[in-house]
Amino acid sequence: MSMATAGVSSGLAGIVGSANVISDPAQLVGYRIGDIAPQLAVRPGSNQEVAQIARLAVSEGLTLAPVGARTKLGMNIPLQQYDVALDLTRLDRIVAYDPDDLTLSVEPGIPLRKLAEVLAARRQCLPLAVPFRSRATVGGTIASGVDSPLRQFYGTARDYILGMEFVTGEGQIVKSGGRVVKNVSGYDLHKLLIGSLGSLGVMTKINFRTFPAPLSMQAFIAHFDSAQEAAGMRQRVAQSPLRPLTMEILSPRAAELLSSGVPAEIESGQLPSHTFPKPGWAVVVSHAGNEKVLERYERDLRQMAGAADAIVLHESAALAVVGRVREFIPVALETSPGTVIVKMSVRPGGMSELLGDAAATAEKAGLSWSAIARGVGVIYFALLPAGRNDDARSRVDNVIKDLADTCGRRDGNIAVLWLPDEWKSLVPPRTAQRSDLDLMRKLKNVFDPNGIFAPDPLASIA
């Protein structure tokens, strides 16, 4: 990397003011992605400034990475070069909120927690119960593609983002979609940015549909001896008229991790001590409604759980258990020095077998593991090696290779979301054979022809 830092720094200061250019190495460490620290960080205050910075990056041959609260910079982002961190936390305004229309337009740097407070005042919400929620920004949440247990009911961001404004790699301010709940004018380009890990553009406005906040909440937790039995419960719920807000299967270790030792900053609420009374597989189903609705859920769920031990939590305790489930990833990352988070998706009916295979593979490699499986067919499988050495890495690598094969056989998907920085270049990304990779590359090139952003997430897959 060659970068005339002083010249670039003054160029950036000309755009955002020198107070918003950070060149102090001690501060820049906090902007590391993987093990690369940028030379500078810049804090734009408007979409125009973002566009100017992008154009400067083009003319100076710099690479930019947009960041928010920096909670997920440890993700497996395939960066080769990273000159300037584009810190979007000053772009934290609510551009428009029309509660009676249930629509909202925000800048990316607004913290989820702050936004939730504004929405709660109007008894509304966004279903973004995502990991790192107490610190994360809206933009980072959308760009990273992390999901929420609430997707069981509300779908994912692609289902409730109505439009966006973003800055392309050529420094152009572009919008797609709109701010109404139904709209088919033009291509839905904004969908491409969801989960794109900052590789296509910098979001400067995100338009959402908002939702009425759920009425009083309840969580039903049933305990089973095996993954198969837990998956059977999931299947019975899926085939019933019930429409829960969340539905997760927790492996024995996941239940154990989530019921103890959760870092205070996660703010998931106080969990009653009896939530996970015994080691085993747990199914956590949450739902909301009036008293009659809650009674109905409890009655039906008890019947579906059969002989399994089950408990029901109400209100804040129910919120707490969903909060813990939400934070599975940060909790797993804290658990081992070499935690690797693998995300797998399959048809929901295939989860039980996949969980079984994955557990067997990890155990055969001598690695401890923990997993949560969302009812929609997504498994977060955490490998928890005892160390962070070459031996651990090679075991992890073998397990991932096996998991990729297993997912491929089931028509599923796999992605390694988190792994130790020094392993990132050594553990190859795995995905099933896809015919659309070439189109993705071309898209990347249209949005960012000069390569000022991170490579496309699948760039290194042949």
Partner 1 sequence: MNARLLRDLKKLLGADGVLHKAEDLALYEYDGSVEVARPDCVAFPRNTADVVEIVGLANKHRVPLVGRGAGTGLSGGALAREGGIVTSFARMNRILEVDVENQRARVQPGVVNADLSLAVAHTGLHFAPDPSSQKACTIGGNVSENSGGPHTLAYGVTTNHVLALEAVLATGELVRFGSTAVDPPGYDLTGVFVGSEGTFGLVTEITVRLTRLPEAVKTLLATYDSIDDATETVAEITARGITPAACEMMDGWTIRAVEDYVHAGFPLDAAAILLIDIDGLREVVEAEAQAVADVCRAHHARSVRLARDTAERDLLWKGRKNAFGAAGRISSSYYTQDGVIPRTKLPATLRRVNEIGRKYNLAIGNVFHAGDGNLHPIILFDERNQQQFRDTVRAADEIIEFCIEMGGSITGEHGVGMEKDRLMPLLFSEVDLDLMKRVRAIFNPAGLLNPGKIFPTSKGCGEIYVRPEPAAAAPPA
* Residue list 32-91, contact with partner 1 (CB under 8 A): none
CB of 457 to partner 1, least distance (A): 6
CB atoms within 10 A of CB 421: 15
Q: Does residue number 124 form part of the binding site for partner 1 (CB under 8 A)? A: yes
Q: Shortest CA distance to 344 belongs to which of 352, 336, 335?
A: 352
CB of 430 to partner 1, least distance (A): 10
How many alpha carbons fall within 13 Å on the CB side of residue 138? 29
CA dihedral (396, 402, 404, 410) positive or negative: negative
Q: How far is CA 5 from the centre of its chain?
A: 33
CB of 452 to partner 1, least distance (A): 16
- Closer CB to partner 1, 37 or 446, in the complex: 446
CB of 300 to partner 1, least distance (A): 9
* Residues 64 and 57 sit within 8 Å (Cβ to Cβ): yes
Determine the size of the site formed for partner 1 (CB under 8 A). 83
CB of 141 to partner 1, least distance (A): 15
* Residues 200 and 443 sit within 8 Å (Cβ to Cβ): yes
Give the separation between CA 81 and CA 73, rounded to whole angstroms. Answer: 14
Q: Does residue number 98 form part of the binding site for partner 1 (CB under 8 A)? A: yes
Report residue 211: phi and psi, to 5°.
-130, 150
- For 425, the 3-state DSSP assignment is coil
- For 74, the 3-state DSSP assignment is coil
Of the candidates 191, 236, 302, 388, which one interacts with partner 1 according to CB under 8 A? 191
CB of 156 to partner 1, least distance (A): 8
* Residue list 199-218, contact with partner 1 (CB under 8 A): 200, 211-213
Q: What are residue 246's DSSP bridge partners?
A: 286
Of the candidates 99, 277, 356, 451, which one interacts with partner 1 according to CB under 8 A? 99
Q: Does residue number 175 form part of the binding site for partner 1 (CB under 8 A)? A: yes
**Largest Cα–Cα distance of the chain, in whole Å?**
71
What CA–CA distances, in Å, run from 357 to 5, 222, 287?
Answer: 51, 23, 30
- Among the listed ranges 22-30, 225-233, 253-261, 341-349, the one in contact with partner 1 (CB under 8 A) is 341-349
CB of 441 to partner 1, least distance (A): 10
* Residue list 433-462, contact with partner 1 (CB under 8 A): 434-437, 439-440, 442-444, 446-447, 456-458
Q: Does residue number 290 form part of the binding site for partner 1 (CB under 8 A)? A: yes
Q: Write the binding mask 141 to 170 for partner 1: x where contact by CB under 8 A, - elsewhere.
A: ----x-x-------xx-xx--------x--
Q: Does residue number 241 form part of the binding site for partner 1 (CB under 8 A)? A: yes
* Residues 275 and 259 sit within 8 Å (Cβ to Cβ): yes
